[in-house]
Amino acid sequence: MSTPNTPGTPGTPQETAVLFDLDGTLLDTPGAIVSVLDKVLAESGRPVPSPERVRATVGRPLAAVFAELLELEQEHGEVERSVARFRELFREDVVPGARSLIFPGVPELLERLRAQGLALAIVTSKIRPSALELLEPAGLVHHFDAVVCHGMAPRGKPHPDLALLAARELGREPGDCVVVGDAVDDMRMAGAAGMRALGVAYGVATAGQLTSAGAESVSESVLALGEALGSLRSSAAITHRS
């Protein structure tokens, strides 16, 4: 991973940091995740839940996902085996095509944000090895000063712990950070951490769901997200000067 950029002057709008979710925000993985979930669930011999129910779990920690879909406790051996099987299949079927999963415009957006002096982090419900095995072949990892993953803080999304850890790693105050994500839990995490939240509607949750969960705005594309981030920074600059 790259060495973090040198911070700007503390207290200026340029100190704003952007905390990105990964699946469904930077990478178009939800469909692939659902496909692998379906394979693992079929192998379990249990009734396969509806497609809507399976898709609604995307972005959550795998143990919680399989516990819900298999209707078992997270500590159950079948849940643990299903998690391990999912990671095996995902590594075989999805990771080799990681670069092709990048949403159009994402590399350019990240480069532009870095050029503007913003600190960037990933905040994901994936464990760190699973996040890096996607970010590295996708060629995105060098854009980020921190990759904060499930298990690195006491509680995961929607609790604030991961977002607050990312802020600390970036040397930012929570109020200087904005969370960008495609899931309701991303928006709730931002609110709980005292951060602003921008939603993207090209992932899992709908615009209405994201707005209800606290998104200040919801973008339908990466291009629109860039514009929303620009507007947010312009507003911060006006507030700072006043």
Percentage of the residues of the chain whose pLDDT score is greater than 90: 84
Instruction: Give me the residue spans of the domains in the chain.
Output: 13-29+100-241, 30-93
Q: Give pLDDT tens digits for 217-238.
A: 999 999 999 999 998 877 664 3
Fold of domain 13-29+100-241: Rossmann fold (3.40.50)
* Per-position DSSP letters for the chain, written without gaps between them: -PPPPPP--TTSGGG-EEEE--BTTTB--HHHHHHHHHHHHHHHTSPPPPHHHHHTTTTS-HHHHHHHHHTS-TTSHHHHHHHHHHHHHHHHHTGGGGGGGBPTTHHHHHHHHHHTT-EEEEE-SS-HHHHHHHHHHHT-GGG-SEEE-TTSSSS-TTSSHHHHHHHHHHT--GGGEEEEESSHHHHHHHHHHT-EEEEETTSSS-HHHHHHTT-SEEESSHHHHHHHHHHHHHHHHHHHH-
Residues 6+ apart with CB under 8 A from 227: 219
Domains 13-29+100-241 and 30-93 share a fold: no
Pairing between β-strand 17-20 and β-strand 146-148 as defined by DSSP bridges = unpaired
3-state SS class at 60: coil
Tokens (6 digits) for 237 = 């600059």
Distance between CA atoms of residues 118 and 18, nearest Å: 7
Q: Give pLDDT tens digits for 133-190.
A: 999 999 999 999 999 999 999 999 999 999 999 999 999 999 999 999 999 999 999 9
Taking alpha carbons only, the member of 1, 228, 7 closest to residue 116 is 7
Residue 129 forms beta bridges with which residues?
none
CATH code that applies to domain 30-93: 1.10.150.240
Q: Give pLDDT tens digits for 30-61.
A: 999 999 999 999 999 988 899 999 998 998 89
Residues involved in catalysis = 21, 23
Evaluate if residue 4 carries a pLDDT over 50. Answer: no
Evaluate if residue 29 carries a pLDDT over 50. Answer: yes
For 10-37, b/e burial (b = at least 16 CB within 10 A) is eeebbbbbbbbbbbbbbbbbbebbbebb
Sign for the pseudo-dihedral over CA of 53, 156, 7, 242 = positive
Confidence of residue 9 (pLDDT cuts 50, 70, 90): very low
